[in-house]
Amino acid sequence: MGKRITQRKIRRLPVIFSDGKGEYPGTSSDFSATGLFIRTRKALSPGTPVKMVIELDNNRKINLTGVVVRSIKTGIADFKNGMGIKLAPIPQEYQDFINKLLHS
């Protein structure tokens, strides 16, 4: 069995993330109460602190911070390249988004 202990939900949303050196585009792949996976060709190394802005429906945005815990770089453009992010702290706005997402 896998290491995952939290329920996940797939949702494709635009994400802009930064490592403090630049801003990069990505697309959310799956969400959990403690983190998310971002599909991107610019996957950062594990341990890298990252700031993110997730663009929700109705022009709403959620600002998040976290750390890269897993990075996948395959060299194949159509494969699931990207990174797993553990969020800290987890803002109430994200918790509300996840509760709604997981119970829809």
pLDDT at 90: 94
Q: Is the pLDDT of residue 15 over 70?
A: yes
Give just the sign of the alpha carbon dihedral 61, 68, 73, 80: negative
Percentage of the chain beyond pLDDT 90 is 63
| Each residue's pLDDT tens digit, 59-75 | 899 999 999 999 987 76
pLDDT at 85: 97
Instruction: Give 103's DSSP letter.
Output: T
pLDDT at 5: 52
Using pLDDT thresholds of 50, 70 and 90, give the confidence band for residue 27. Answer: very high
pLDDT at 6: 60
SS3 annotation, 58-81: HHCEEEEEEEEEEEECCCCCCCCC
**pTM, to two decimals:** 0.85
